[in-house]
Amino acid sequence: MPETTLPIPPAPDPDWAWFSDIDGTLIELSSEPSALQSRQHLPEVLAPLYRRVGGALALISGRSVANILELIKPFQLPLAGCHGVERRLADGRIIRPVPSPQMELARTLLTDVANGHDGLFLEDKGFALALHYRQAPHLEAICRTAVENATSGDLCWFPGKMVYEIKPRGYSKGTAVEAFMKTDPFRGRKPVFIGDDLPDEDGFEAVRTFGGLGILIGPHRSTKALFQFETVSALRIWLAELPL
């Protein structure tokens, strides 16, 4: 039997805590990783929701915190970048780990691979690296082998949409949710996580441990999310019409 979509989410409660991915979730995927020109009116989407929920809204993305701030400026809010490796708190403080000594070696190895194959692009996020093959799908196996070879020590690799990424172990979108839920204004609320990609599954799992729910954006697949919108535009319409 063909797979069917999950139901759309229930009407939100004013006491929800909101966590959301960006690319493929709040804005359409771009052919240029971490593009800043594709803002797609993101600040205008976020500001009303942020006010309605008393600031209990955080973006949790594979982008770096610096990149996210550029994407949403002049709007500012809690953020987690590089899949949870760095976080910007509600008071503006930024928490980052000590850089991994293995990251420089991985950066060198992946730079050589990207430079040696047309269509590959290495995105350097500082605390994470992403080897994109969206422009050269036939090079997926080369990308996977490259990140496997470049991963050592306290680094780990994981797949995404037409990309393989490397980051320090022990961090994920789920650990970012857990950390935010211990702080105001998220503490004591029911969390919802919105995302589209495989790394977002950690976020879906984390919110369920707090009695919350996940919302998948995109085509149906095996997921820990309970609800779904098939397109970015459908999610944005729903957010604009929230009766909070």
Nearest to 221 by CA among 198, 205, 241, 238: 198
- Does the domain formed by 16-97+171-240 have CATH 3.40.50.1000? yes
Amino acid (1-letter code) at residue 181: M
pLDDT number for residue 2: 44
Q: What is the pLDDT of residues 104-134, one digit of tens each?
A: 999 999 999 999 999 999 999 999 999 999 9
pLDDT number for residue 35: 64
pLDDT number for residue 11: 86
154 is catalytic: no
pLDDT number for residue 4: 62
Q: What is the pLDDT of residues 175-223, one digit of tens each?
A: 999 999 999 999 999 999 999 999 999 999 999 999 999 999 999 899 9
Question: Tokens 């070879």 map to which residue?
Answer: 149
Going from the C-alpha of 39 to that of each of 26, 34, 55, 122, 143, the distances in angstroms are: 10, 10, 21, 22, 28
Out of 1.10.3470, 3.30.70, 1.20.1530, 3.10.50, select the CATH number for domain 102-168.
3.30.70
Residue 244: band (very low, low, confident or very high) from pLDDT cuts 50, 70, 90 = low
CB proximity list for 34: less than 8 A, separation 6 or greater: 63, 64, 67, 123, 125
Q: What is the pLDDT of residues 20-79, one digit of tens each?
A: 999 999 999 876 666 655 667 888 889 999 999 999 999 999 999 999 999 998 899 999
Residue 13: band (very low, low, confident or very high) from pLDDT cuts 50, 70, 90 = confident
Domain boundaries, the chain: 16-97+171-240, 102-168
pLDDT number for residue 77: 94
- The predicted model scores a pTM of 0.91
Which one is catalytic: 13, 15, 21, 91?
21
Asked whether the predicted pLDDT for residue 240 surpasses 90, the reply is no
pLDDT number for residue 30: 75
pLDDT number for residue 20: 98
